[in-house]
Structure 1
Amino acid sequence: MSRAVAFLGLGHMGAPMAANLVTAGHRVRGYDLVPTLLDGAARTGVEPAPSAPDAVADADVVVTMLPASRHVLDLYDAVLPAARPGTLFVDCSTIDVADARTAHQRADAAGMRALDAPVSGGVVGAEAGTLTFMSGGGEAEFAEARPLLEAMGNKAVHCGGPGAGQAAKICNNMILGISMIAVSEAFVLGESLGLSHQALYDVASTASGQCWALSVNCPVPGPVPDSPANRDYRPGFAASLMAKDLGLAAAAARAGAVHTELGLRAAELYAAYAEHAGAAEDFSGIVRTIRDRSGEPA
């Protein structure tokens, strides 16, 4: 069934997601603060709106894809009064679990319904329509949003109540960040022992070391032709975003007094990497930092 969708946030992730909704037959009105992004989305069939409140005025569903918690909460304050009662708000941003719950509360207080539905899959997944959505909220809201999520991805999971999608996202990305560091350290160690990248890949990819960070986003050029390592680490999933997600996981671990030694250390390493060498690189480029630091006292 075709829906009227407002899509707010048309950056690297939002633009292809909105385009996939258009391809699936939905009417999409979009808005972004950056005029060039709005123009680019218009070329894919997204109808440009003059403002965010205007975009949501006649929408059945409002999808947001924004950088951080404050952007989501500020936008909700601006657009909730403009939406029709009962409109479903689906936030695909990655934000703090507590802030996601606040967004649910604000939507509910305004007479709306809400779902937090962050994604995994990066820009490549957004463009290909192969994202995974992790959703938190009511079962009825998830059921309503599911056809839209599946138009933008190939898997949508209902993880629980408000904030559960964000919880799943930061836990998943803590696994990913730690595993990328582990894979990178293994390749650098292999280099020091005279082992070729291909030989280590051929063993680990079919043995107990096999993981997504190795087999899909391999941090060294050669073994996986489509990995960012073969494009001078041009981002598929930017190091700055990994640093953000690990920071959210670290904050949640500290708040809950959960012992996540590797998660906290990964957050520190990615924060430093994203602030300096990795500012414009894929998160797999951390292998170069590990290589550069090798030879220093352990």
Structure 2
Amino acid sequence: MIPARALPLGKSIKSGSHSQRLFSTSLRRDATWGFIGLGRMGYPMAKNLRAKIPASDTLIVHDVNEQAMRQFVDEAKTASTGPVEFTDSARTVAEKSLNIITSLPQPVHVRHVFHSILKPGPLPQLEQERLFIDTSTIDPVTSKEVAYAVQAPNQGRFVDAPMSGGVVAAEAGTLSFMFGASSKTGALVDRVREILALMGKKAWHLGEQGTGVSGKLANNYILAINNIAVAEAMNLGIRWGLDPKTLADMINASTGRCWPSEVNNPVPGVIEKSPASRDYEGGFGIGLMRKDLKLAIDAAQESGAPLELAATARGLYEAVEDIYPGKDFSIVYKYLSDISRR
């Protein structure tokens, strides 16, 4: 077991209608909720959360981007979904909230946020145990370290619950979550499922703490490889003279069907609302895919599991990001297509 002091201490980085039927009576009403991280995924997740919790509940949001916080509060006022506040302190969110959800880009951000929450000292006690649900995609080691730092001094429960589905699913409230939580307390698993149901359509309990991020990295390794395979296959077929939409329809009715071919097809115009049809804007940033692939490779090396395609995939994503930073990871197709025209 890793002691609580193993959580790195350092300077913190600056950090309408209600679907009542989805809300179980096992969750407290008139409660205060916290959401930390209003990025591409976190912003729409927090909007869905605010729309589905009781109107009498309060949501406190925090992000390093003050403009994003102010915009979120303004939109909530316009929608009349219920009380929303923002704060420049992650600690304040944790002090006031019963359920705190974090959605952060990388392990370092998760460490810093929880450092800023825990370093000042014990959090005030609440009538019910405080619950932290981290939806960030990070490595299992970091997740377990943070969990111990929270739970060892009885500051609450920490659950790893990364999600799948991308920005489109985050906006639609149809995300799939995979979470790790002790099954010894069935009430905890039920509580986590009920909260995640406010932002998604499915929540898989994969086992003890840490299994959620492990499952997510395995899933995203497949996604990284499939994305490249679809980009290569579409480029190949188009160079042979095949119509892109016809080719995609055939693949999606055959054994090549996968999320990058059907939902996030990398060829502009094949899927009307895909990032590829919007100049590869929005969606899942290539930098995040590169990060997730690295985490998967590191975790595989620690466990001794071979990943034969990992090095090639990693090299390709690094090359693509150098040219198209910030774009959706499906821009691998454009990179390959440009090479084939040279």
Return the TM-score normalized by structure 2.
0.82
Structure 1 residues 88, 185: CA separation in 2 closer, same or farther (over 3 Å shift)?
Answer: same
Q: Relative contact order, CA 8 A, sep 6+: which one is greater?
A: 2
Residue 41 of structure 1 corresponds to 72
- Match in the other structure for 2:273: 226
Shift of 1:222: 2.6
Residue 162 of structure 2 is aligned with which of 110, 118, 141? 118
**Aligned mate of 2:63, from 11, 32, 35:** 32
Which SS does the other structure have where 1:247 is aligned? Answer: helix
User: How do residues 1-298 of structure 1 correspond to structure 2 at under 5 angstroms?
Assistant: 1=27, 2=29, 3-25=31-53, 26-45=57-76, 46-80=84-118, 81=121, 83-85=123-125, 86-111=129-154, 112-139=156-183, 140-274=187-321, 276-294=322-340
TM-superposed deviation, 1:92: 0.8
CA RMSD of the aligned region, Å? 1.7
C-alpha displacement of 1:265: 2.1
SS in 1 for 2:216: helix
Unaligned runs of at least 5 residues, structure 1: none
**What is the deviation of 1:261?**
1.1
Deviates more, 1:286-295 or 1:118-127: 286-295
Q: Contact between 1:240 and 1:278, CA under 8 Å: does it hold in 2?
A: no
State the alpha-carbon separation in 1 of the partners of residues 188 and 74 from structure 2: 30
Aligned residues between the structures:
295
- Offset of residue 295 of structure 1: 6.7
Contact 2:38 2:68 survives alignment (8 Å): yes
The 1:137/1:84 distance shift into structure 2, 3 A limit, reads farther
| One-letter code aligned to 1:104 | A
Per-residue deviation, residues 182-227 of structure 1 (Å, max 9, x unmatched): 0110111112222221231122111111111101111112332222
Asked whether the equivalents of residues 135 and 142 of structure 1 are also in contact (C-alpha less than 8 Å), the reply is no
SS of equivalent to 1:29: strand
Which amino acid is the alignment partner of residue 149 of structure 1? L
Closer, same or farther: CA 105–215 of 1 in aligned 2, 3 Å: same
Residue pair 1:137, 1:162 contacting (<8 A) in 2 also: yes
Q: Which amino acid aligns with 1:87?
A: R
SS at match of 1:57: helix
Q: Give the AA of the match of 2:307.
A: T
